[in-house]
Structure 1
């Protein structure tokens, strides 16, 4: 799957950026990575609010094997095949994935702020 294929799939979502990474590609919208292409398959970012949709659809998470031979599951789940040929469905799933990426980024920012506050000590 090349960059033009990815842009075509998400044409209803608006402009996306594609960046090469680890033998695959990361797909970004508004500087948030919301999709991953690996081994020719397209995976979308999920979180606690959206993962049930993919599980119920019979999807599976992206996984990889680590150096020690263990398998690691990620929060990216395989895009349903029907969405690859349906721009409206792809755009809707893309919006869900961007929202999950945004929630994750917001959570990380809040956690970092808490850590900085603790490290700086009490305000007097």
Structure 2
């Protein structure tokens, strides 16, 4: 899957920039990474609720094998098959992934000093 394919799929979402990452591509909107493309599959950033929704739609988690043979999951799930042919669905899922990515990268609220 190339950059032109990604732009077409997410046209309803808005501009998506790509950057080479881990032998694949990182997907960015407004400077925030919300997805990956690895081995021609699109994966979106998730939280527990979004991961459950994607799993119910037939999506699979992105995992990789460590040198010691353990499988590692990093909070990205594949774009469900129906979204690959439906730009509006792909856009809705991308918006949700972007919101999750923004929340994950949001700075912590300033602490109130206990000293007076």
TM-score (norm 2): 0.90
Match of 1:33 in 2: 33
Match of 1:86 in 2: 86
| CA-CA distance at 1:6 after TM superposition | 0.7
> 1: CA distance between counterparts of 2:19 and 2:52?
28
Match of 1:110 in 2: 108
Aligned length: 116
Show CA shifts across 1:5-64 (max 9, x none). 111110001111100111100000011111100011111111134222112112111000
Which has more radius of gyration?
1
| CA-CA distance at 1:123 after TM superposition | 5.1
CA RMSD of aligned residues (A): 1.7
For residue 75 of structure 2, give the secondary structure of its aligned residue in structure 1. Answer: strand
Mean CA deviation greater in 65-74 or 17-26: 65-74
**Where in structure 1 are there 5+ consecutive unaligned residues?**
none
| CA-CA distance at 1:81 after TM superposition | 1.0
Match of 1:14 in 2: 14
Of Structure 1 and Structure 2, the greater helix share is in: 1
TM-score (norm 1): 0.85
